[in-house]
Amino acid sequence: MTLSIENILLVGSVLLLVSIIAGKTSYRFGVPVLVFFLLIGMVAGSEGIGGIHFDNPVLARFVGVVAFNFILFSGGLETRWTSIKPVMWQGVTLSTLGVLITAGTVGVFVHYITPLAIYESLLVGAIISSTDAAAVFSILRSKNIALKDNLRPTLELESGSNDPMANVLTIVLINLITTPDKSFAEILPFFFGQLIIGALAGFGFGYLNVKAINKIKPDFEGLYPILIMALMFITYSVTDAVGGNGFLAVYLSAVFIGNKTIVRKKTIIKAFDGYAWLMQIILFLTLGLLVFPSRIPPVIHVGLFISAFLIFIARPLSVFISLAFFKVKFKNMLFISWVGLRGASPIVFATYALVAKVDRSDIIFNIVFFISLTSVLIQGTSLSAVSKWLKVALPQNQKVRTPVDIELSENVDTELVEISIDENNPVIGKAVTNIQLPKTSLIVMIQRNGKYFTPNGTTVIEKEDKLMIMAPSEKDLQAVFKVLDV
């Protein structure tokens, strides 16, 4: 099938619909829903039943760049400073030193087991050196897994911030391959310039964007996400034009914006969550269309060796070395090592090599695709079991979640969670006034027998109640957990 102006909307919408419906079944197997989008793209491609011919790495790379802007910006907006502050340096170390160690060790291994030259091998290592936040947390949410010891914010910060580092390494190695007269020392200023300028631009644009959002104030609520979108692309484009890493700038600017008071903040966050999901679906469908399944079998044996090395040696090595500077429990480091899922990022970065016409870039692309798919299928399906085996997941009766969407004032910054009361909880049989919650916190609603009601001081807590509690900060929320013994 050839895509045309007349049928592209129909084909695109059908693929989106099928992807969403098929993705619902992924949760029962613990596989990230985005993998189903990727497989549907392959089935719809030139060698699948859809017969849609697509072999345009330039367009795929463009889709990837646009999608990453939305994905990183949405993730940055929802990153709470109070959550990541205790683990900031752990996450940053994992996303910088950890990425370097992964890229280097995998690159050397690839060089020894394949005919690829050293720079080409290091390019493979750089491409697959970042983890995929969307893949990790779609599994955690689907299995309703809550993690102990600030593991979740650590993984969120690492996954959200290591794509820029992998992106810079990929660009650097492509430059070294395509311009062999340049030495590694000559490329170092570019490497550090990308990171330093990207970081400075991120905070700078974050500050300016907050001012712009609160100053411009569009007349219609629906225009606020459009305004943010424009500011996001300006941040990326200007940073890239002056020699910085645009992805890093977009992520940091979003973190800055998300932790400041801006007009229509909740509207913006909700809108970008939807945009990010749409971009992820389009990205995975596009990458699926770009893959020719018949070209995968020749690289399976090499891909399996590299996947095994990455999962069992390179990733744990990078995690244990990076976290050796901090007081992190051994079992937590093991879990972080296992949560090294590769997803869309490596496949998109592999298109950079295709666009640059790097020697054997087609082989590199197919190897990277196979490694990403293998990583998600092996680590993704076992994530729930590993979290329970290492005892880093909270018991089922201590899961904390926020299932009810309550619209609060834009200026109210609160934590709203729902806590299940198990049969052994000491607050059972006590009236609300006798629970001694922190004065700053409030039980705003109780779910009992499938119905919600507003409690008063004399309301007695019963077994299997679900308490919806509002607290002004993460610190206050932790005090609530202590009182409720969860």
Ranges of each domain in the chain: 8-389, 397-483
DSSP assignment of 419-486 equals EE--TT-TTTT-BGGGS---TT-EEEEEEETTEEE---TTPBP-TT-EEEEEESSHHHHHHHHHHTT-
List Cβ neighbours of 421 (8 Å cut-off, separation of 6 or more): 427, 428, 461, 462, 463, 464, 465, 466, 467, 484
Task: Report the alpha-carbon distance of residue 139 to residue 141 in Å, rounded.
Answer: 5
Longest dimension (CA), the chain: 79
Task: Report the alpha-carbon distance of residue 146 to residue 482 in Å, rounded.
Answer: 16
Rg of the chain taking only CA atoms, in angstroms: 23
Strands (E), 146-251: none
List Cβ neighbours of 363 (8 Å cut-off, separation of 6 or more): 116, 299
Q: What is the pLDDT of residue 170?
A: 94
**Span 162-211, pLDDT tens digits:** 888 999 999 999 999 998 887 777 788 888 999 999 999 999 999 999 99
Q: What is the pLDDT of residue 402?
A: 46
One-letter amino acid for residue 81 of the chain: W
| CATH number belonging to domain 397-483 | 3.30.70.1450
CA distances from 59 to 331, 348, 400, 441 (A): 43, 11, 42, 51
| CATH number belonging to domain 8-389 | 1.20.1530.20
Q: What is the pLDDT of residue 327?
A: 86
324: which strand partners?
none
- Between helix 151-178 and helix 57-77 the angle, nearest 10°, is 150
- Between helix 300-309 and helix 361-375 the angle, nearest 10°, is 60
3-state SS assignment for residue 393: strand
460: which strand partners?
431
pLDDT in tens, the chain (486 residues): 656 666 677 777 877 777 677 666 655 555 566 677 778 888 887 777 877 788 889 999 999 999 989 988 988 888 878 778 888 899 899 999 999 999 999 999 999 999 999 999 999 999 999 887 666 656 665 556 667 777 888 887 888 788 889 999 999 999 999 988 877 777 888 889 999 999 999 999 999 999 999 898 888 888 889 999 999 999 999 999 999 999 999 999 999 998 888 888 888 888 998 888 888 888 888 888 888 888 899 999 999 999 999 999 999 999 999 999 888 889 999 999 998 888 788 989 999 999 999 988 999 999 999 998 888 888 877 877 888 888 887 655 444 444 444 545 544 556 677 788 877 788 888 888 888 888 878 888 888 888 888 888 888 998 888 888 888 766 777 778 778 776
Q: What is the pLDDT of residue 414?
A: 63
Q: What is the pLDDT of residue 404?
A: 47
Q: What is the pLDDT of residue 133?
A: 61
Task: Report the alpha-carbon distance of residue 477 to residue 26 in Å, rounded.
Answer: 32
Interior angle at CA 109, CA 290 and CA 112, nearest 5 = 100
8 A C-beta contact, residue 371 and residue 299:
no
List Cβ neighbours of 379 (8 Å cut-off, separation of 6 or more): 311, 338, 339, 340, 341
Task: Report the alpha-carbon distance of residue 188 to residue 98 in Å, rounded.
Answer: 18
pTM, two decimals, is 0.81
CA distances from 439 to 141, 175, 458, 477, 482 (A): 31, 59, 17, 12, 14
